[in-house]
Amino acid sequence: AVTLWAASLEIWKNVVEGKLRVETRVHFHKVPENLYCERVKLNIDLATNELILSDAPNEAILVKINNKIPGRGLQLDASELNLLYKDKYNAEVPDSYEHLLLDFIDGDNHLFMRSDELAAAWNILTTTLQEIDEKLQLP
């Protein structure tokens, strides 16, 4: 399942201008039965597992997971597995638009959509938006 939403402009009132942040977050479902709550008195439902794909300003892949601490005991911890490109690779990573513009100048179009792909994407999106509008229509 995918959840998409657009925030109202009211939310952006106090945000510092020029601050860019582009990321995709996937929150995984909570486990139906929390086996650890009774034994450890720890509610891991407060922090669900999460996958974060960050594009700007710091390109990274981050996985937040709940895991058991190694050993005989039963202790849980929330951990982060982090691949921050600028820390891992000793090279400057251009931002996504810079990369696309350089590809365009070089004549490399493998990251660009063809017109038939674009039409198919808009067909899916338009149908989805129409369904949302019909269901949210106020009396």
Task: Please report the pLDDT score of residue 63 as a whole number.
Answer: 92
Using DSSP bridges, classify how beta strands 60-68 and 50-56 pair: parallel, antiparallel or unpaired: antiparallel
pLDDT tens per residue, range 32-57: 666 666 666 566 555 678 898 887 77
Q: In sequence order, which ranges of the chain are alpha helices (DSSP H)? A: 36-40, 85-88, 96-106, 115-135
pLDDT in tens, 77-129: 788 888 887 778 777 777 777 878 888 899 888 777 888 888 988 888 898 88
Higher pLDDT, 41 or 139: 41
Per-domain boundaries in the chain:
1-91, 94-139
Structure tokens belonging to residue 50: 């999460």
Residue pLDDT, tens place only, 9-23: 555 566 666 666 778
Q: Which helix (H) or strand (E) holds 52?
A: strand 50-56
Q: What share of the chain is helix, strand, coil (3-state, %, to 5)?
A: 35, 20, 45
Average pLDDT (51-70) is 84
- Collect all residues with Cβ–Cβ distance below 8 Å to 20 and sequence separation of at least 6: 56, 57
Q: What are phi and psi of 18, to 5 degrees?
A: 90, 0
**Residue 85, pLDDT score:** 77
